[in-house]
A and B are shown apart, each in its own frame.
Chain A
Amino acid sequence: MRVKRSLLILVILALVGVFALSACSAPATPTQEPPPPQEEKPTPPPAEEAMQGEKELEIFSWWTAGGEADGLNAMFEIFKKKYPDVEIVNATVAGGAGSNAKAVLATRMQSGNPPDSFQVHAGHELIDTWVVADKMEPVTDIFKENGWLDVFPKDLIDIISYEGEIWTVPVNIHRSNVLWYNKDIFEKNGLEPPKNLDEFFTVADALKAAGVTPLALGDNGVWADNHLFESILLGVMGPEKYKGLWTGETDWKGPEVKQALEIFAKMMDYVNEDHSALSWDQAAQMVIDGDAAMNIMGDWVAGYYTSLDLEPGKDYGWTPSPGTDGVFLMLSDSFGLPKGAPHPVNARRWLEVCGSKEGQDAFNPLKGSIPARTDGDRELYNSYLQAAMDAFASNPIVPSFTHGAAASEGWVTGISDAMSLFVADLNVDEAQNNLYQACVNAGVCSE
Chain B
Amino acid sequence: MKNRIRFDPMRLGIYTLLTLFALLFLVPVYVLLISSFKPFAEVQDLSRMWLPPKQPTLESFYVAWYGIPEKGLRGLSLNILNSLKLTIPATIISSMLGSMNGYILSKWKFRGADILFALMLFGMFIPYQSILIPLTRVIAAIGLGGTLWGLILVHVVYGIPITTLIFRNYYAEVPTEMIEAARIDGAGIFKVYWKVLFPLSLPGFVVVIIWQFTNIWNEFLFAVTILQRPELQPITVALRNLAGSQIKEWNVVMAGTLIAALPTLLIYIIMGRFFIRGLLAGSVKG
Contact = CB atoms under 8 A, between A and B. Distances in A.
Classify A-B as touching or not with yes or no (CB < 8 A).
yes
B156 interface: yes
A244 interface: no
B141 interface: yes
A8 B146 CA distance: 38
Interface in A63-92: 63-66, 69-70, 72-73, 89-92
Given A89-B230, A93-B241, A63 B72 contact: yes
B245 A37 contact: no
B256 interface: no
Given A13-B119, A110-B137, A111-B137, A6 B112 contact: yes
Contact of B141 (A27, A32, A63, A94): A27
B64 to A, nearest CB: 14
Nearest to B228: A104
A100 B70 CA distance: 22
B245 A94 contact: yes
Nearest to A69: B72
Say whether chain B's binding surface is mostly helix, strand, loop, or mixed: helix
B262 interface: no
Contacts of A69: 71-72
A76 to B, nearest CB: 9
A57 to B, nearest CB: 13
Contact of A107 (B136, B241, B244, B246): B136
Task: Give the interface size bracket for A toward B.
Answer: 35 or more
Report which residue of A25, A33, A280 has the largest number of chain B beta carbons within 10 angstroms of its beta carbon. Answer: A33
B73 interface: yes
A63 to B, nearest CB: 7
Task: Give the interface size bracket for B toward A.
Answer: 35 or more
Given A92-B230, A94-B244, A111-B136, A104 B149 contact: no
B123 interface: no
Contacts of B137: 110-111
A65 B245 contact: yes
Contacts of A268: none
B224 interface: yes
A10 interface: yes
Contacts of B225: 107
Contact of B142 (A29, A65, A281): A29
Given A25-B141, A94-B246, A281-B246, A72 B153 contact: no
Contacts of A90: 72, 230
Interface in B94-127: 111-112, 115-116, 119
B71 A39 contact: no
Contact of A111 (B73, B112, B140, B242): B140
Contact of A64 (B141, B143, B144, B245): B245
Given A24-B142, A65-B71, A113-B140, 13 more contacts: A5-B111, A9-B111, A9-B115, A33-B144, A36-B143, A64-B73, A65-B72, A89-B230, A89-B231, A91-B231, A93-B241, A94-B246, A104-B228
Interface of B: 70-73, 93, 111-112, 115-116, 119, 136-147, 149-150, 152-153, 156, 224-226, 228-231, 241-242, 244-247
